[in-house]
Structure 1
Amino acid sequence: MSDVSIVKCEEYNQEEVDRSLEKLITSLGGIQRFVKEGSKVLLKVNLLFPRAPSSMVTTHPAIVEGVAKLLKKYKCEVFIGDSPAIGSFSGGASAAGFAQVADKIGCKIVDFNKSVRLNNTSGVFKDIEVASEIQDFDAIVNLPKVKTHGQMGLTLGVKNMFGCVVGTKKLYWHLRAGINKDYFAKMLVEIYSGIKPVLTITDGITGMEGNGPQWGRPRKLGVILASSDAVASDLVVAHLVNYAPEKLFTLRAAKEMGIGTARIEDIKFRGEPFSSFDIVDFKKVPLSSLEFKIPSFIFGPLKNTFATRPIVDHLKCTRCKVCIEICPPKVISLRNDKIFMDQRNCIRCFCCQEMCPHGAISIKENWLSRVFG
């Protein structure tokens, strides 16, 4: 049984956010339930790409400020950090509004630069490396953003901890997993479980639907959630946006691995009644339903027939070559002054779609998948 607190919050007005966060955390027993007075606390935000808060690509700075103030009241030393795949966190913190929060509230910005082996002796993945800097903190508070995700379906609390893998080292795990999304999801769950954030507070005031996690459409959801169990809070978000939990790879993996609460019936709701939230017609990212029906060793050879795939809008493409640099299997190239994707060897990680700085790559569902899926 896990507690999940859920409250309404319609706007990123700081006063409204502060009131909502106070109500949210109080319903779980107060911030003192999760951190000790005077602790060093890392706020693990989502900085996918250094874009303005209005884009809804990153954790909104109003959420970061509100949580930081709650911790400051408890005499905690607060740090803000993440590790984007491209560039440094400190380099992108101003664009996302995090540096301004740090200056205003008296927090410190943290870059993740060095790696250390995750203490994961009981897990499947013995060689996961995460940022050594996270060892400097007494507690980690996880601050994800509700967004669609081309590979996993949604990026929420569990997925957000992947940002503790330093920079481009994330690409190794995409390459190692290949087409096997269940394998990748299990790795994400083990990273989350190994790091063990004391609290996950999910920014769902305005999320992202459609072609997420960077170029989807902002969608007002009007909700903030909190739980010490990110699997449970992710499950609640899935239900809120009418996403079948069995079609979210991280939830499937967590259930199989026995990590977190994987049944909505086993969640005790705090804050406001779950039934008071009505989110309809949330636009999902295309995912082939056959991926959930066919074992990966069979689905892999059939991926070009049935799997969703990245496609390039050449009118939007500026040939900046970010997709070429970020592609784990190196199957993207420039041919005749156009981006070319070798779909036969593409592993469908959608790193190209996720990191394209111009929104020129989207996800297309194969027509056979629509017919037979």
Structure 2
Amino acid sequence: MFDRYTLSACFDDADAVVSVAKMKNHAFMGITLCTKNLFGLPPMLLPEGRTRSYYHHLIRLSYVLPDLALITKPCLNIIDALTGQWGREWGGVGRICNALIAGDHPISTDTVGMHLMGHDPQSDWPTPPFKRDRNHILIAAQRGYGTVNLDEIDWESEVKAPLAEFDSVETDTSETVANWRRTTCEQGLVYQENQKDLIDRYRNNFIYMQGGEVVWSGPDPSNLGSRRQLSGDKKDSALWLKLVDAEEHEGEHFNVYEDCLKPFAA
């Protein structure tokens, strides 16, 4: 999703990276296992980092997570499925699974974890549990990092799928989510098309775009509250957050928005 990320200096000195995660569904991402667990790596404080909502953004996060896995390459990945959680990452419903999953590749480990949850690792939005955003595990595999094909993974198990009933909650109607996805992509491409003018006006500030217009600008969006509230009476129109950098140092890949718009054009 981006050419560059800011991470802790500890990764420069680390001999190995280990990702340990709970087996849970996620309201936005469908699942949260070893790859989703890496979301916390980029700092969330300005000016070095980005606010949580910057990466944890519709469209972006599904592509950010494979990036973080490719950068850190966890060599040991453990899913704690002694107990799991249905529905969402916070406030979900507990599931007793009595299992532990370990592997040497985050995508393969998460693929097996998804299978044991009863999910199809090769499924994608809008197929459950991916009711809101794309399957980040599938995106990683499509990029050539790992696989979501169980037949291509060397694995064995003492337990059988499904370990319990799992699914993500539906936070919004499928029509609303589709509108948010479409308008998020549109705002990203409007920014790209009008980048020079927007840099002249909002250089080094963050902006929120909605409906082709800048609806907020400032140095720090971290305390603005929920985007649901910021959207005002345009609840079906997404707000898109961007740092206006003349050098585009982070190197956002706007082609992602073009690709995600194709299903709507079809």
- TM-score higher than 0.5 here? yes
In structure 2, give the amino acid aligned to 1:132.
A
Q: CA offsets, 1:310-354, max 9 Å, x none? A: xxxxxxxxxxxxxxxx98583539xxxxx95646366599xxxxx
Structure 1 counterpart of 2:252? none
Q: CA offsets, 1:45-75, max 9 Å, x none? A: xxxxxxxxxxxxxxxxxxxxxxxxxxxxxxx
Structure 1 counterpart of 2:149? 263
Q: CA offsets, 1:175-195, max 9 Å, x none? A: 367432xx3211111111111
Structure 1 counterpart of 2:54? 175
Aligned residues: 192
1:205 paired to 2:117: no
Contact 1:129 1:165 survives alignment (8 Å): yes
- In 2: Cα distance, 1:329 partner to 1:347 partner: 15
Structure 2 counterpart of 1:152? 29
In structure 1, give the amino acid aligned to 2:4.
D
Q: CA offsets, 1:224-267, max 9 Å, x none? A: 11111111111111111222322352122112211112211111
- Find the residue that maps to 2:101 and give its secondary structure: strand
Structure 2 counterpart of 1:332? 226
Contact 1:205 1:223 survives alignment (8 Å): yes
In structure 2, give the amino acid aligned to 1:285.
V
- Deviation of 1:216 after TM superposition, in Å, equals 0.9
Q: TM-score, normalised by structure 2?
A: 0.60
In structure 2, give the amino acid aligned to 1:139.
A
- Deviation of 1:300 after TM superposition, in Å, equals 5.8
In structure 2, give the amino acid aligned to 1:284.
S
Over the aligned positions, Cα root-mean-square deviation in angstroms equals: 3.6
- In 2: Cα distance, 1:218 partner to 1:327 partner: 34
In structure 1, give the amino acid aligned to 2:114.
A
Structure 2 counterpart of 1:134? 11
Contact 2:30 2:167 survives alignment (8 Å): no
- Deviation of 1:296 after TM superposition, in Å, equals 4.0
In structure 2, give the amino acid aligned to 1:267.
I
Contact 2:26 2:89 survives alignment (8 Å): yes
- Find the residue that maps to 1:221 and give its secondary structure: strand
- Find the residue that maps to 2:108 and give its secondary structure: helix
Contact 1:329 1:347 survives alignment (8 Å): no
